[in-house]
Structure 1
């Protein structure tokens, strides 16, 4: 008969521990496969569709994550609420992400459903539990200042404590003042909605109504968390991954929702080993066949300043009187920038490098626009000024902001030749940025880009 086991018999050797860790890592990588992520997205999307059917309101994706869970054919719009604006202790109403474009959709649809998700462990993202509630309260206070009964802050009790709700509520007056300081005309915004907006929350654990809901006292902003909460590891969930659409830069190989949805059956029927190459092929094919390039976007209240992407600019026919500035992602010598008397192509790089180089390039751009305006023909007293960059959302926004601050007055009219904007401070710059964010809600100027613009504008001689 063998001797009884001792404690030393139960201790794994160093090699055994190494193999055990490797095995766990292999299991986790297998569980977090591309196939499981895409399948999880479809499971969550089915829940989102059931919410849409229950509440009969337009679906809005909170970008970037939310678009994964909505079939593009059912998507009515996009929102830009960041979870970081709702993090505990640093709550914020963003003057860069105003989302006022949603008010028209909310008014027409008597509310909307904003879709987002969060990764493992959380019940709902802070964007839905706090950022959107802050936005709703600030919008109500701004559009209905004489109705204090509309000004309350509503947060989900299962995610936000009474204490935290009170701390956020204490800051709402300041948030409302910061919104008012942008000088945005509230009248057209007020015309979109007939009653206040109020957030509601839906998760996969919620019981959905079986009859159409009528909300007589407010427009509901239904905050829909697409993913089911996973308390433990994904290994125990049979391949389901909470919040798959939340970290696509780590696994998607360039796949986007617009490419995924029409090809979902093909992708899910392809073996895991072949998925990366198939995704690369689909993304490339989509890029080559994309159509419907949008026209340059006008920045009201001006009637002459436009922003667009480089590809859209190339697809449009320009007038001979247009003043065009293109910001290129390649770095080129300043001597090569001006192409003709009305066209400038600035090569300053991309990313943070491009944003940093923008500061030294802005004087060239402003001088170019002023020279072009001074030589404009009598018949074209206010030619179009078009600013483009690769995505039309970052560097071109910075250039347009500088032009707005220096060459346009408060009414959106160009100054007379020889005149420029004065008294430019941070509040002034924020107001002009508000014009842009209202006109192009999906623009996304980086912090580095805005810092370069601020630095240039603040040190200019008045």
Structure 2
């Protein structure tokens, strides 16, 4: 037969499109089944037991590296939260975050002799970059900035036999620059030194190396144990009998709105529920939580004595707790004619950041008109999350109207640079530790503040 013959002449020439499609669909279905919500929740429960075993061994409090870490710690065992980004540990991008200073864990470490920072990562890695690089960078910066004479703790402490010497060397060369930038924020270094008490020494806890005999809480240092909760999985999830490494990671894509507190409060019910019934159950549990949830109090931004920040859910219903309110997301028409409230009507995400840029002139005029006559009035700035747009608006207010002591001095006309803006941002992030203004929000505020003043 020639090449144009319509019939196959060998087994290899046979082609069954429907069989290939069926195999592909079957493999995809098996993978989805292996990554089911039920398997994730059972994997989280398994990993949480390892985390609590580590806590029992060291006798140290558990601190969740948000957001993933909170899945592995029952609320009654959780002492605090940290916000160390894995991206700050990515190769070539090593960084010390000035949006997330994580100073809230200093007194926790001082009071307990250290802490255990809990995180995890998805299939294939022993630990997340946050634990192998971001936290070690942060610890080295803190040790050098707060304890300059304790040189034994100044080197970056890396996990054993994990990174290559070239990467370790490149990271080490960046630390002094980070220390200089931290000091340039003009924070109370002596106060931070007292908050921590002693330098930091690091240990790691994961399924590969655990419980070093030579490391324990000591008189000369605070011990930070960096705990990766999940077992390392090399193959596909289907080969692990339903176990999923880093099951709590990227929960927006699988959890149907379930949060760690709701999981732990209803763990037995959730684990006993069939997979197909879980979405409806989770929906009902979240709805119940929303009804019961009480908004947290707004946070005073020190060193000011009258500026507060919160999420919208914390707005008081009586309207009398704060003299003035700026709501970044609420409908502007709802505040028309109000002497004490300004609604900006910003959208969400990047659109909201762009809207904020267009609204900052209103913020400036409102604050100038209201506080100039009575600087003692309290001002609450709020947004949907209490972490992004409200932080941006508040940052603009601090830069425009407040001096280095946190006193209202009226509208200032000097040209502002990024270092000045970063100093004021540090006031916000050290007062409310979960604040995390997006890059778009900060760019909008910087663009507004760094224009040449025309007033």
1:142-291 equivalences in 2 (<5 Å): 142-208=145-211, 213-291=216-294
> Structure 1, residues 58-84: CA drift from partner, whole Å, max 9, x if none?
000000000000000100000000000
Give the structure 1 partner of residue 141 of structure 2. Answer: 138
Is 1:48 aligned with 2:46? no
8 Å Cα contact 2:110/2:196 also seen in 1: yes
Change over 3 Å in CA distance of 1:339–1:326 after alignment to 2:
farther
1:199 Cα shift? 1.8
Q: 2:203, 2:215 within 8 Å by CA — same for their partners in 1?
A: no
SS at match of 1:325: strand
Deviation, 1:208, is 3.5
Shift of 1:316: 6.4
Q: How does 1:14-33 map to 2 (within 5 A)?
A: 14-33=17-36
Aligned partner of 2:126 among 123, 126, 151: 123
SS in 2 for 1:191: helix
Question: Structure 1 residues 202-211 or 178-187, which shifts more?
Answer: 202-211
Cα 1:188–1:315 shift into 2, 3 Å: farther
2:88, 2:96 within 8 Å by CA — same for their partners in 1? yes
Match of 1:340, SS state, is coil
Please give the residue correspondences for 1:291-440 in structure 2 after superposition, counting only pairs within 5 Å: 291=294, 293-315=295-317, 318-319=320-321, 322-328=323-329, 332=332, 337-376=335-374, 381-415=375-409, 417=410, 419-420=411-412, 422-440=414-432
Aligned partners of 1:144, 1:225: CA distance in 2, in Å?
Answer: 28
TM-score by structure 2 length?
0.94
Q: TM-score by structure 1 length?
A: 0.92
1:249 CA drift (Å)? 1.1
- Measure, in 2, the Cα distance between the counterparts of 1:405 and 1:139: 26
Aligned length: 446
Following TM superposition, by how much is the alpha carbon of 1:182 offset from its aligned partner in structure 2, in angstroms?
A: 1.0
Checking the alignment, whether the CA contact within 8 Å between 1:329 and 1:350 is kept in structure 2 is no
Which digits, 9 at most, give the CA deviation of each residue in 1:271-293, with x for residues without a partner? 111111111111111111113x3
In 1: Cα distance, 2:90 partner to 2:14 partner: 44
Distance 2:235 2:389 in 1: 42
Hey, what's the Cα distance between the residues in 2 that align with 1:216 and 1:11? 74
Task: Give the Å deviation of 1:150.
Answer: 2.2
Gaps of 5+ in 2: 1-8
Greater shift in the superposed pair: 209-218 or 153-162: 209-218
1:133–1:198 CA contact under 8 A, matched in 2: no
* Alpha carbons 1:405, 1:421 under 8 Å: kept: no
Picking from 440, 444, 448, the partner of 1:452 is 444
| Residues 105 and 18 (structure 1), Cα distance of their counterparts in 2 relative to 1, 3 Å cut | same
CA distance 1:340–1:445, shift in 2 (3 Å): same
- In the TM superposition, residue 90 of structure 1 has moved relative to its aligned partner by 0.9
CA-CA distance at 1:22 after TM superposition = 1.0
